[in-house]
Amino acid sequence: MTIKTKICGISTTDDYIACCDAGAEFVGMVHYPGSPRHLDLRALAKLAACSASINSDAPDRVLLSVDVSGEDLSALIEAGNPDLLQLHGSETPDHVAAIRVRFGLPIIKSIAIETLDDLNQCANWDGVADWLLFDAKVKPGEQPGGTGHSFDWALLKNYKGRLPWMLAGGLDRNTVVDAIRVSGARAVDVSSGVELTAGKKDVRQIHDFIRATQLV
């Protein structure tokens, strides 16, 4: 079984190269001022330039934003030149559909999960998003993602949605194998679980995490 991996919240070109070397399929670039992994336009452009210098086997770059639209989102896309967009806020299906049409990029839509009721809304994204990303629901005032919180992975065991999906929330090199086996995930997303401190990625943990996914 091949498990796709996404290393989210990279901050430097060294992070990006480490993800390339480790064999990640996706890397996430976060634009959210409340996050320790926040990248401004200049930092996004620097990562885009690094990607352009690497061969076609490099990971797809995912631009993560939270409730950003219009010309602000256009500026982020111009700077970061992403392969996909991850919308991690309260965007509605109509809003996401408009973004997808305007920019012509595949969409990953995050879905906050706490109970089975949260999964019942996923059909609303059919034909709108290209991927769903299931992450733990956070408390009011917490940053949306990258918190290290997890949810009951067994909620996903019998999920039969039409869209491909990624599992996120509380994953690291020690938990990812159990998470995959319990949830049935075929793609996983990690951020804080491969860091030394908040926002500082660790090359060894990135490699260990991806190697662990190959044990399933």
pLDDT at residue 140 tops 70: no
CATH level 3 topology of 4-213 = TIM Barrel (3.20.20)
Backbone angles phi, psi at 71, to 5 degrees: -70, -25
Task: Assess contact for 166 and 129: CB atoms under 8 A.
Answer: no
Pick from 10, 125, 133, 127: which is nearest to 61 by CA? 10
Mean pLDDT across the chain: 94
Residue 47's pLDDT is 96
Residue 162, exposed/middle/buried by CB under 10 A (0-12, 13-18, 19+)?
Answer: exposed
pLDDT at residue 146 tops 80: no
Kindly report whether the global pTM for this prediction surpasses the value 0.75: yes
- What 8-state DSSP symbol labels residue 50? H
Residue 22's pLDDT is 96
Span between the terminal Cα atoms of the chain, in Å: 7
Mean pLDDT value of segment 105-118:
96
pLDDT at residue 142 tops 80: no
Model pLDDT for residues 15-68, shown as the tens digit of each residue: 999 999 999 999 999 999 999 999 999 999 999 999 988 876 789 999 999 999
pLDDT at residue 148 tops 80: no
